[in-house]
Amino acid sequence: MEKKELKINYTSYKSIDELPHDERLLLNKAIEATSGSYSPYSGFSVGAAVEMANGEIISAANQENAAYPSGMCAERSALFYAHSKYPDLPVRAIAIVASHNGQITPQPTYPCGACCQVLSETQSRSGSPVKIVIGSATGAIVLGSVSALLPFAFDNYPK
């Protein structure tokens, strides 16, 4: 048996204002996107903004449904739209933020497992790391790659 250790690197900011300009802009687009959330059941509005390789930003919000599995997370909504609009254009980064009762949550809201897997395949399709910016009322976290969130991703993607 061999015991191994896994470490991740990330950058933590005490305020959204400390973020570099491009990351702050992307996160602000995710914050704006929370207003498009349909979340009458959880009251948890999530916004995501995706930066494409051409600099365009595509944003979306979560959409709930009374049949809970039929809803869609903000991350997948934004990524699926981005890929349908620009099927061959790489994704550079995604920003994610959540709010409750109109206030950004005090803790970062990380992507669920399904969203992490979609992000992983997006990164594979893009051919380079996809940066993840996760905002909260108390600052932001920036991960340089999806692999930091899902190091053991299913990777049987068509080549």
Question: Which residue, 122, 47, 31, is CA-closest to 149?
Answer: 122
- 75 counts as catalytic: yes
Catalytic position from the list 23, 51, 64, 75: 75
How many C-beta neighbours within 10 Å does residue 151 have? 12
Per-residue tokens: 73:
């997370």
| CB crowding 1-29: b at 16 or more within 10 Å, else e | eeeeeeeeeeeebeebeebeeebbebbbb
Active site residues: 75
